[in-house]
Chain A
Amino acid sequence: MPLIRPFGINEFWIIVLAAQWTIALSAIAFAGGGIGGLLIALLRVSDAKWPRLIATGFIRIFQGTPLLMQLFLVFFGMNILGFAINPWLAATVALTLHASAFLGEIWRGCIEAVPPGQREAATALGLRYFNRMRYIVLPQASKIAVAPTVGFLVQLIKGTSLAAIIGFTELTRQGQIINNATFSPFMVFGTVAAVYFVLCWPLSVLARRMELRFSRATAR
């Protein structure tokens, strides 16, 4: 077998199929980030001071540092805690924490966008924190939240590419591997970019449409 093989249809499919790992990583981080984000958002709008401070600190740290460093810290930090070095687990944990912070901040804004009269009326009707959130505030906030959440999903899918740097073989890493074998970077990274585009662009368009529809609905 020659040392450098040409970029053919097989190489193309290897790259396209590697997208399943990008999708899996995004899906897990999005699901985990959804749970974590809800928790962070609720802590952030809590009436008590300490939960609010903890949530604010969490958000500040994750929004003020690079995702790459978050990945490295989880990757090497897990080793210190006694886990074997595992890029898949490290990427999942880091992206989940990252998504929790960003979704928490996005959803905090949505919760605060619900008119305060709604919360006051619920309190006046005798609803406690949990029921007030469950039946009054969150259903209204979730409508506002859909468009920016889809927008963040695009950012998260793009963010999973950094898992390639800690050695997890998803779309970008697979591109690097194929590039090392074929040495046709123009084709390889063009294909990788095209696959990301196919994943992200429909979501971007969807987010924009929903935002437009929402702003029209509330303009009246």
Chain B
Amino acid sequence: MYNFNFEPVFAGFDQLLLGAWLTIQLSVAAMIIGLIVSIACAAGKTSGIAPLRWVIDAYIEIIRNTPFLVQIFFIFFGLPSLGIFLTPNSAALVALVVNFGAYGTEIIRAGIESIQKGQIEAGTALGLSKLQIFRYIIMKPALRTVYPSLTSQFIYLMLTSSVVSAISADDLAAAGNNLQSQTFASFEVYIVITVMYLVMSVGFSTIFSIIEKAAFKYPLSR
């Protein structure tokens, strides 16, 4: 019978907490920057300029049909041969932004396409500028429509971010790798880390539903 020994894991718990904090920072930063990328790409994709649409489509298809691990290897090991050198943490952030951007674009595009043409025409008739129409008439209701998909994509992003430990960034999974090589209590370390990830994903979905209730209080239609 195997004797579980969690003592060394909790002795190094501060390392794990530090890792968890970096995972949160990394995911939140990647989400915010990735969301900007997504909105820009979705606007470009629905703009009707054909070459722009092809480039964005190629970006989305390439990212969505290759594994994140290969993307991060490509960015971390491949880009230096083009003269772009990144630290593990910044390579991780770039990879997560690029990855989230592709999924986010498709989600936001779906939201934009759910807006009826009449709404946009009404905006034009009221004399709103192109930017105002995009901001108030398209994006505001579109973001509300796709909010649930965006938040579950974020949680997926946070879980995926564990893969950045493969290039030894300082995230939670990497903190776990270090701790298990110091303590040799591999199974116990990964049990604790897995529970920490579970707590973070449950925590974030709770926060997101609180935000949803606060931000989308206004009625959908009269």
Contacts and interface: CB of A to CB of B under 8 A. Distances in A.
A65 B78 contact: no
A159 B66 CA distance: 10
A189 B78 contact: yes
Contact of B187 (A68, A76, A193): A76
Interface in B131-178: 155, 159-160, 162-163, 165-166, 173
Interface string A194-205: 001100110010
Contact of A176 (B61, B73, B193): B73
Contacts of A67: 159
Interface stretch (A30-38, A114-122, A160-168): A160-168
A165 B65 CA distance: 20
Interface residues of A, number: 39
A206 to B, nearest CB: 12
Given A69-B194, A73-B190, A158 B66 contact: yes
A83 B159 CA distance: 28
Contacts of B197: 64-66, 69
Interface string B188-214: 001101100110011000000000000
B62 interface: yes
A25 interface: no
B82 interface: yes
A66 B70 contact: no
Chain A, interface SS category: helix
Interface residues of B, number: 36
Interface centre among B67, B71, B165 (most CB of A within 10 A): B67
B65 A64 contact: no
Interface in A53-103: 61, 64-70, 72-73, 76-77, 79-81
A175 B67 CA distance: 13
B77 interface: yes
Contact of A190 (B64, B67, B78): B78
Interface in B103-123: none
Nearest to A162: B69
Contacts, number: 114
A67 B173 CA distance: 11
Contacts of B80: 185
Contacts of B13: none
Interface centre among A61, A69, A184, A185 (most CB of B within 10 A): A69
Given A64-B198, A65-B201, A197 B73 contact: no
Contacts of B193: 69
A13 interface: no
A147 interface: no
B159 A159 contact: no
Contacts of A160: 67
B45 to A, nearest CB: 15
B70 A193 contact: yes
Nearest to A157: B67
Contacts of A189: 70, 73-74, 77-78
A196 B166 contact: no
A204 B82 contact: no
Interface of B: 2, 61-62, 64-71, 73-74, 77-78, 80-82, 155, 159-160, 162-163, 165-166, 173, 186-187, 190-191, 193-194, 197-198, 201-202
Pick the 7 closest A-B CB pairs, nearest first. A185-B77, A161-B67, A200-B65, A66-B162, A158-B67, A189-B74, A66-B159
Given A61-B198, A64-B197, 8 more contacts: A65-B201, A66-B173, A172-B69, A175-B70, A185-B77, A185-B80, A189-B78, A193-B70
30 contacts: A64-B155, A64-B201, A66-B162, A66-B173, A66-B194, A68-B165, A69-B162, A69-B190, A69-B194, A69-B197, A70-B194, A73-B187, A73-B190, A79-B187, A80-B187, A162-B69, A175-B73, A179-B73, A185-B78, A185-B81, A186-B81, A189-B74, A192-B70, A193-B70, A193-B71, A196-B70, A200-B64, A200-B66, A201-B61, A204-B65
